[in-house]
Structure 1
Amino acid sequence: MVIFLLAVCYSNQASAQKITIRMADKSYDEFAFVEAIDLYEFAYEKDPENTYVIRRLADSNRQLGNTEEVEKWLKLLIDRRKEEPEDLFAYSQALKSNGKYLEAEQWLQEYAELRPEDGRVNIQISLLEYIRFLHQDSARYDIRPVSLNTEGSELGATFYRNQIVFSSTHAGNGMIVRKYKWNELPYLDLFVGDRAPNGDIIHVKPFAPKLRTNYHDGPVSFDPRADKVYITRNNVGKSGLKKDDDGVVNLKILFGGKENDRWEYRGEFPFNSESYSTGHPAIDASGKVLYFASNMPGGYGGSDIYFSVFNDGFWSEPFNLGPKVNTQGNEFFPFISNDGVLYFSSNGHGGLGGLDVFSSVPEGGVFKEIENMGYPVNSPKDDFSFVLDETGTEGYLSSNRANGRGNDDIYYVKLNYIPVIIRGVARDRDTRDILVGAKISVANELGDTLFTSITPKDGQFEFEVNKGKDYIINGQKTYYFTNEAVVETQKLRQNDETFVELFLEMEAVDEDGYPEPKRMEEENGEPLQIIENDYVGFDIGRWEIESAAATTIDQLIEFLKKYPDMEIRIESHTDSRGDDEENMLLTKRRARAAFEYIRSKGIDPLRVGYEGFGETRLLNKCDDGVECSEAEHAVNMRTEVKVVRKGEYRGKRSKRNVFYF
């Protein structure tokens, strides 16, 4: 009899346990995860060995972002050796979200050995090194929570003119409170607030009552020029939420517009579906390209980023952004900045935690490479809905990171440094010649000098500055008027270059009586005026100054007698025929002979420079082994005597002259 009673009691307990698990599964299938967790925990208390219940507890908590609980339940499975390969991956991700990176990497490697083909592993396998890399530029950002955050959820901040529109579970104003079974929080409604100078969001009130439903509204995106709004919304019918065949309430994108300063419903995106979600719209600056997230068939993973183009009154078929952006995981919350950079969140590219924010700069209109925004934009938790203002230097993001006020919070983001390059060249305004030795300075909008450089022989300058400001490029040079140019950087992308030509005008000067140079050359990095030049001849193999050569040199010496600061340069060359060393020696003897002749005429030897170059400076192709005519070889046999004056020429310049350095 006792045995019979025990059997009946056990049968009743087993039946009750099955009913509890069945109820928990029903709540789970209806995405009522808070309710499901309560029921699964009750079932676990009755049967702590039930592997199915433990795994469901881990997955339900994962849906709610309770990563500490996910870690606890999956560790229990692993300790009991009841884990499956996907449990190891989920466990490593929970550890990562809880900041336990060393353990996370160890378990990720365990999973990689079982599933080496999983693309999520290849990115994250050197996790610790990657985490250090993502922390190295943390000073680039200032991040702080806005004051409107509540114990519920605030997310999806976006810019509309001088205001911020966002979604919140804080109903207020006597609105009917319906709770979302997923997390037992109220549904999201749209609110609008003013943007304070410090980035806070103030004077908050409900946004666009005519666009409001009793279910999730937002996030949104605006085309302010056309006063259009693109809204994420639950699939709602006349009788309430509409579910697909699997019991899922999908998302849709709807349109709104302004009529008499009031927002009104204007239709929906033609590629919405009853069987999959489209949401998180982001319209580009042209108002013609709509980016969005969707789990429509044919993607690379759970949810992918797509875009559609508006042309001739119709939206094009959606285009998937491809495997560089989309992964086997989920990509959400696209945002396209004014300069065309794509920002989005993903849990498939690897990073600091759950969802991380990534950016991608288009190359030829295609997003080929992505970059993790790093810490502190990203955290071990979920970070998403990143947006920037028109300058690209301030914005907002949403996150459920630690020490927040609620489930999801909105954070103000200030980008302290976005490097862009200012390149340019300094030129003479009249001749358009490049200017060597010009002092180029960069000043901010307040006139504070940030950088200074001196232009080299190519006249160019280059500075790295912070995007988002106007910079003053100042040029100064002896004998020239100072000039400035203003460079705007707001529309540049990170590491973009902008080029400026800075023209300086020469000051008016009195004629000093010196002749105008034939051309300009350079000597030891300094400008050199070539006042006059001529060539002297020598007999083959000889270096004596004959009468013809003496006559030529005497004419050039007259310049030195008339102008005390002029000098002479002697350069002697041979062709390539004959022995190299003998040719070098011959030219040095010829240059020396010309020097001695000039000195014999009473010229200070310090005013005379001379050099023999042998066959090292040929003027044509006639090098060793190259067949050339006598005339072609003769071009290279020359001794040139130049009358020069150091420094730049300041007199009146004729158009025929070519000045170069």
Structure 2
Amino acid sequence: MLTLVLGGCKASGKLSKSNKSYEIGEYYRSIEQYRKTYRKTKNRAVKAEIQFRIAEAYKYIGEYKRAATFYKTAIVRGYSDPIVFLHYADVLRADQEYDEAIANYQKYLKTSPGDQHALNGIASCDRTPKWLDNPTRFQIEDLKSLNSKASDYAGVYPGGHENQIVFTSSREGATGRRDSPITGQLYGDIFHSYYDKQKGRWEKPTLIDENLTVDTGDDEGAASFDSRGTTMYFTRCRYDKTKSMGAEIYTSSETGGTWSDPVRVELGGDSLLIAHPSLSADGRTLYFVSDMPGGFGGKDIWKAEGAPGAWGKPVNLGPAINTPGNEMFPFIRDNGELYFSSDFRVGMGGLDIFKAVKNDKGQWEVENMKSPINSPGDDFAIYFIPGEDRGLFTTNRKGTRGDDIFSFVLPPKIFEIDGNVVDKETGNRLKNATIRLIGTDGTMLRLNADNGKFKFRLNPETEYVVAAFKKGYLNAKANETTIGLKDSKTFDVSLALTPTDAPIRVDNIYFDFGKWDLLPASKNALDSLVQILVQNPTVTIELMAHTDCRGDAKFNFELSQKRAESVVNYLVANGISPARLVAKGYGETAPKTVNRKLAQKYNFLKRGEELTCDFINKLPTEEEQEICHQINRRTEFRVLSTDYREKFAPSPKE
């Protein structure tokens, strides 16, 4: 793939014969050469050095499991450079051996305290399992009918038209040589394929340029198109025999199905690495990768503004984007979002895809795209269809045959309320209640819940009030919001309507034994009662306090009256008009009659039974008797009227 080819697009220099292939980036060729040298030497230090170099070559090729084996052997043989622990940890992490990876990062940190690469690696080991267990909403699919056993990557839809895909491949049919010293595969060419709707699959890919003006014996790939899909920018690594002449960006235009002779895009002077073009939607900014002076690490992302044939001076995107590692495969989306791959930031594997968005101050804010877009393998070359949350990306994760092209889609977030209306006393669904939904976005909906069920579709970034109304019941409402939600959500809403024709128990009202001061634990229950009265401003109620039948009747009556008054005082203190409230203590004079809810909860009680002292004393166990006493010790309210209107005193005259 071109990530490897770019590693070899550099001058050779004067190197020892044994290391020359490796140093100029011919990783595949160097492995076999090192193996031959290894068999001929008996020097332990040399053997350790060779093991390390083979591991490095496998790491660059992306064969992390093989690389791990050779790193481990190099460590056992006493390879002296601590960098071996760092790189060994990297490939262990890519193979999801997180505990062992962390141990080796820590070994490296002992020799290089505070090293950011190692610290990022440890953080990656911690986060990757969590990201795998909690993937984002993206859905991905392997384009198996398109991919081959060779590298297939950097797929795009020219002009956003999904019937044609253009991508880079080193498959059979590519024009390059078969024995690439870098990858062991054919040099890449630009292919295209059309989608066969009847067969539901991609047709057999062919070279994009039958005249071989774009595709040559050199290495071509990573194409980007203008908005019409007729002008293409692509990378070409040229070779003179086995010597690399560097990576450059070329451009070609299509007319009548024929591509013009490619023209080199002048961007970096004498730089040996100008690659991975991405053209902005308006055609005025070209993003690309280079290792030219002025960068922050290995390969950086740059941009040049202007127009074809007149590009301005390249500008590095700065440390908010670029790191001491490699940033590659930029893609500038039509909405201004920048996507790229990096091997240095906290991520899941070798290369991870990142999203960068400018904040209100014009500063880039970068985030990892996480699973399933990213994986413990290499993930890169993402492409979005203009105006849509779907597109293509490349990965070599487990299950692929190398670099394969996947499609992705971000389904729209779906928010909805799935609700029901019930009788607060019985818990049964109420038929024919009226439901209203009001949203801060102007939503005003009304429906009839025939069977006690209702459902609404909600909009994102909106606050809602859902309310239920039914004759003979107090109104009820609930508040929900979709503001800030990153994932789809169904809100389960149950609106319990209070009947107005019978006393309603207020649960969880607590007093100390023999006292009437409200305890703090009663606050939530009383606040709920406040909300009922606020939602039903025309209602007046009687607060009813009851005791059990034990103790002095007069004391029980006075105690219940004071307790009812304590509840009323709390409601008044929280904004309820005293004119709407009546406090009434009943002592032990109104024992509870068993309703359906109580009968279902306690199998020794039957609906309609009155919990008098005589009834309770005849129960066979003390436990059952105590339960009945607890039921009788209750606070209730009942609706007195539903036509209350607040009276306001006229303003005094001057």
List per-residue Cα deviations over 1:501-549 (Å, max 9, x = no partner).
xxxxxxxxxxxxxxxxxxxxxx945799xxxxxxxxxxxxxxxxxxxxx
Corresponding residue to 2:67 among 70, 73, 87: 70
Give me the whole-angstrom Cα distance separating, in 2, the residues matched to 1:59 and 1:268: 33
Give me the whole-angstrom Cα distance separating, in 2, the residues matched to 1:608 and 1:374: 58
Assess, with a 3 A threshold, how the Cα gap between structure 1 residues 279 and 242 changes in structure 2: closer, same or farther.
farther
Assess, with a 3 A threshold, how the Cα gap between structure 1 residues 101 and 439 changes in structure 2: closer, same or farther.
farther
Aligned to 2:233: 230
Aligned to 2:649: 639
Give aligned-pair identity as a percent. Answer: 27
For 1:387, give the aligned amino acid.
Y
Aligned to 1:651: none
**Alignment of 1:137 onto 2:134:** yes
For 2:457, give the aligned amino acid.
L
Q: Are the counterparts in 2 of residues 253 and 272 from structure 1 also a CA contact under 8 Å?
A: no
1:606 to partner: Cα distance: 8.2
**Alignment of 1:33 onto 2:24:** no
Aligned to 2:205: 204
List per-residue Cα deviations over 1:254-295 (Å, max 9, x = no partner).
111123342213522221444331111111222211111111
Aligned to 2:349: 353
1:22 to partner: Cα distance: 5.4
**Alignment of 1:89 onto 2:59:** no
Q: Are the counterparts in 2 of residues 382 and 399 from structure 1 also a CA contact under 8 Å?
A: yes
DSSP-derived class of the 2:374 partner:
coil
Assess, with a 3 A threshold, how the Cα gap between structure 1 residues 148 and 225 changes in structure 2: closer, same or farther.
closer
List per-residue Cα deviations over 1:418-468 (Å, max 9, x = no partner).
6899x96466xxxxxxx9x75499xxxxxx963495479xxx996479999
**Alignment of 1:169 onto 2:143:** no
Corresponding residue to 1:370 among 342, 366, 389: 366
Give me the whole-angstrom Cα distance separating, in 1, the residues matched to 2:308 and 2:123: 49
1:590 to partner: Cα distance: 13
Give me the whole-angstrom Cα distance separating, in 2, the residues matched to 1:241 and 1:418: 54
Corresponding residue to 2:113 among 87, 91, 116: 116
Q: Could you state the TM-score of these two structures normalised by the residue count of structure 2?
A: 0.61
1:186 to partner: Cα distance: 0.8
Q: Are the counterparts in 2 of residues 439 and 454 from structure 1 also a CA contact under 8 Å?
A: no
For 1:411, give the aligned amino acid.
F
1:69 to partner: Cα distance: 2.3
Q: Are the counterparts in 2 of residues 395 and 414 from structure 1 also a CA contact under 8 Å?
A: yes
Q: Are the counterparts in 2 of residues 171 and 189 from structure 1 also a CA contact under 8 Å?
A: no
DSSP-derived class of the 1:350 partner:
coil
DSSP-derived class of the 2:391 partner:
strand
Assess, with a 3 A threshold, how the Cα gap between structure 1 residues 608 and 334 changes in structure 2: closer, same or farther.
closer
Aligned to 1:187: 187
Assess, with a 3 A threshold, how the Cα gap between structure 1 residues 467 and 54 changes in structure 2: closer, same or farther.
closer
DSSP-derived class of the 1:194 partner:
strand
Corresponding residue to 1:411 among 393, 406, 410: 406
State how many pairs are aligned: 450
List per-residue Cα deviations over 1:220-275 (Å, max 9, x = no partner).
00013372111111146xxx4695xxxx5421111111233422135222214443
Assess, with a 3 A threshold, how the Cα gap between structure 1 residues 608 and 402 changes in structure 2: closer, same or farther.
closer
For 1:221, give the aligned amino acid.
S
DSSP-derived class of the 2:263 partner:
strand
DSSP-derived class of the 1:345 partner:
strand
For structure 1, which segment, 67-76 or 346-355, has the greater mean C-alpha deviation from structure 2 after superposition?
67-76
Within 5 Å, which residues of 2 pair with 1:515-594?
524-525=534-535
1:101 to partner: Cα distance: 1.1
Aligned to 2:153: 155
DSSP-derived class of the 1:302 partner:
coil
Give me the whole-angstrom Cα distance separating, in 2, the residues matched to 1:304 and 1:420: 40
**Structure 2: segments with no counterpart, 5+ residues:** 1-14, 417-437, 449-454, 468-478, 489-532, 539-572, 582-639
Within 5 Å, which residues of 2 pair with 1:287-436?
287-310=283-306, 314-364=310-360, 366=362, 368-405=364-401, 407-416=402-411, 425=440
1:43 to partner: Cα distance: 2.1
Assess, with a 3 A threshold, how the Cα gap between structure 1 residues 606 and 151 changes in structure 2: closer, same or farther.
closer
Give me the whole-angstrom Cα distance separating, in 1, the residues matched to 2:313 and 2:301: 13
Give me the whole-angstrom Cα distance separating, in 1, the residues matched to 2:238 and 2:29: 23
For 1:327, give the aligned amino acid.
T
Give me the whole-angstrom Cα distance separating, in 2, the residues matched to 1:589 and 1:190: 82
Q: Are the counterparts in 2 of residues 382 and 401 from structure 1 also a CA contact under 8 Å?
A: yes
For 1:223, give the aligned amino acid.
D
Q: Are the counterparts in 2 of residues 321 and 367 from structure 1 also a CA contact under 8 Å?
A: no
DSSP-derived class of the 1:639 partner:
coil
Q: Are the counterparts in 1 of residues 296 and 323 from structure 2 also a CA contact under 8 Å?
A: yes
Assess, with a 3 A threshold, how the Cα gap between structure 1 residues 417 and 371 changes in structure 2: closer, same or farther.
farther
1:156 to partner: Cα distance: 0.9
Assess, with a 3 A threshold, how the Cα gap between structure 1 residues 525 and 110 changes in structure 2: closer, same or farther.
same
Assess, with a 3 A threshold, how the Cα gap between structure 1 residues 25 and 261 changes in structure 2: closer, same or farther.
same
Assess, with a 3 A threshold, how the Cα gap between structure 1 residues 439 and 328 changes in structure 2: closer, same or farther.
farther
Assess, with a 3 A threshold, how the Cα gap between structure 1 residues 165 and 120 changes in structure 2: closer, same or farther.
same
For 1:640, give the aligned amino acid.
P
1:119 to partner: Cα distance: 2.5
1:178 to partner: Cα distance: 4.6
For 1:125, give the aligned amino acid.
I
1:54 to partner: Cα distance: 2.0
Q: Are the counterparts in 2 of residues 397 and 413 from structure 1 also a CA contact under 8 Å?
A: yes
List per-residue Cα deviations over 1:347-373 (Å, max 9, x = no partner).
010211111111112224845221111
Give me the whole-angstrom Cα distance separating, in 2, the residues matched to 1:440 and 1:589: 35
Give me the whole-angstrom Cα distance separating, in 2, the residues matched to 1:468 and 1:591: 44
Aligned alpha-carbon RMSD (Å): 4.1
Q: Are the counterparts in 1 of residues 176 and 188 from structure 2 also a CA contact under 8 Å?
A: no
Assess, with a 3 A threshold, how the Cα gap between structure 1 residues 609 and 303 changes in structure 2: closer, same or farther.
same
